[in-house]
């Protein structure tokens, strides 16, 4: 299915916390944009058939690109599967994203697959962006903060 990025990461955090960070709009806005970008989550309805719509803004240039899609499968603390497409017609096509969560001795292991990346986006750039985002996700989910 077109260009594909696959990633693997282990977080020193419980699966429920890592899973929630993918579905909480405020959490997504904090960790999802790669370095140099800020995010605005316009809409997020985290249920099967629910939709999401997000914008990334380049802090240096102010250039904005937005994207959205539909949640296809949600298994709490185990799986998130959704599609995404850019609002920009020059970035045509639909991407499929799958995130698998596994509880492991040290915390949570995730496997991410993103397929159908538009040809106009270098796969290496997409891979780098995900790596930067996952660094930010680790900073968000790793601390255990008491009530």
Q: Rounded to two decimals, what is the model's pTM? A: 0.94
Predicted pLDDT of residue 137: 98
Structure tokens at 134: 């996952």
Structure tokens at 79: 């799986």
Encode 71-90: b = buried (16+ Cβ within 10 Å), e = exposed. beebeebeebbbbbbbeeee
Find, among 14, 5, 76, the residue nearest to 34 by Cα: 5
How confident is the model at residue 144, as a pLDDT? Answer: 84
- pLDDT score of 16 more than 90: yes
pLDDT at residue 143, rounded to an integer:
87
CATH of 3-141, one of 3.30.70.600, 3.90.1150.10, 3.30.70.270, 3.30.530.20: 3.30.530.20
CA 123 from centroid of its chain's CA atoms: 16
21-76, pLDDT tens digit by residue? 999 999 999 999 999 999 999 999 999 999 999 999 999 999 999 999 999 999 99
**Domain locations in the chain as residue ranges:** 3-141
Q: What is the mean pLDDT of residues 89-94?
A: 90
């Amino acid at each position: 299915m077109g260009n594909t990025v696959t990633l693997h990461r282990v977080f020193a955090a419980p699966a429920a916390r890592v899973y929630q960070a993918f579905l909480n709009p405020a959490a997504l806005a904090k960790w999802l944009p790669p370095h140099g970008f800020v995010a605005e989550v316009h809409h997020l309805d985290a249920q099967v058939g629910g939709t999401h719509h997000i914008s990334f803004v380049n802090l240096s240039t102010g250039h904005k690109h937005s994207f959205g899609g539909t949640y296809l499968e949600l298994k709490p603390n185990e799986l998130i599967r959704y599609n995404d497409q850019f609002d920009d017609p020059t970035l045509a096509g639909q991407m499929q994203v799958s995130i698998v969560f596994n509880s492991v001795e040290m915390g949570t292991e995730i496997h991410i697959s993103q397929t159908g990346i538009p040809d106009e986006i270098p796969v290496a750039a997409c891979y780098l962006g995900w790596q930067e985002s996952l660094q930010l996700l680790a900073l968000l989910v790793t601390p255990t903060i008491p009530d």
